[in-house]
Amino acid sequence: MTTPYVDDVQALRRVFSGFPSGVAALAAVVDGDPTVLVVSSFSVGVSQDPPLVLCAVQRSSTTWPLLAKAPAIGVSVLGEDHTGNARRLASRDKDTRFEGIDTLVSDSGSVFLHGAPIWLDCSIEGVHDAGDHEIVVLRVLGFRDFPHRPLIWHRSAFTTLHSAAQEEVNGLDRVKGER
């Protein structure tokens, strides 16, 4: 049996944190300033025709209303190279978010992060009510992928993917190092 939900947001957060996800940076130049919102609610596989992706944005976000003004939004899936910068990128301090991160700005003002496994250039298709969040559906206008490994958000911490093959390589490396 499951435990009935009784308005315990902390417990709910702890349970939800057991769901592993990728992390995406939604970014664009807004009023001359590079602006970014980090979301672990990002999801692909919504629709292929037309190509749609989505994320959920807190109603309290002060960054989303800025990004929502942009004609196009760059989505960069964070990669392992972003491990040391991801917390700052998602911090409250808007002025330091891009510190230590190389970016590329498209003609339409979408901002992309170097080191990302995936770039998607998107426009806003629709925004839907979802409790204390809004579900933002984005239409994919263009894409590019790179051989970078993604960053994973799990149990309120950043981690990386470990495949059995990678474990084996790591194991071999360790054995070699011990010789």
Ligand X SMILES: Cc1cc2nc3c(=O)[nH]c(=O)nc-3n(C[C@H](O)[C@H](O)[C@H](O)COP(=O)(O)O)c2cc1C
- Our CB check for ligand X shows the closer of 133 and 139 to be 133
Q: Are 77 and 118 in contact (CB under 8 A)?
A: yes
- Our CB check for ligand X shows the closer of 96 and 170 to be 96
Taking the complex as a whole, how short is the minimal distance between the CB of residue 134 and ligand X, in angstroms? 9
- Our CB check for ligand X shows the closer of 58 and 85 to be 58
DSSP strands (E only) in the chain: 21-22, 24-30, 33-39, 43-48, 51-58, 73-77, 103-105, 111-113, 118-130, 133-145, 151-154, 157-160
Return contacts of 44-50, CB within 8 angstroms, 24+ apart.
46/137, 50/125, 50/139
Taking the complex as a whole, how short is the minimal distance between the CB of residue 139 and ligand X, in angstroms? 19
Taking the complex as a whole, how short is the minimal distance between the CB of residue 164 and ligand X, in angstroms? 26
Q: Are 112 and 104 in contact (CB under 8 A)?
A: yes
SS3 percent helix, strand, coil of the chain, rounded to 5, is 20, 45, 35
What is the C-alpha to C-alpha distance for residues 15 and 44, in angstroms, rounded to an integer?
A: 22
Q: Which residues of this protein are in contact with ligand X, per CB under 6 A?
A: 23, 37-41, 55-58, 61-63, 90, 92, 153
Taking the complex as a whole, how short is the minimal distance between the CB of residue 86 and ligand X, in angstroms? 7
Specify which residues 111 forms β-bridges with: 105
Taking the complex as a whole, how short is the minimal distance between the CB of residue 156 and ligand X, in angstroms? 8
- Our CB check for ligand X shows the closer of 65 and 171 to be 65
What is the C-alpha to C-alpha distance for residues 137 and 143, in angstroms, rounded to an integer?
A: 16
- Our CB check for ligand X shows the closer of 83 and 108 to be 83
State phi, psi for 31 to the nearest 5 degrees: 50, 40
- Our CB check for ligand X shows the closer of 29 and 49 to be 29
Taking the complex as a whole, how short is the minimal distance between the CB of residue 25 and ligand X, in angstroms? 9
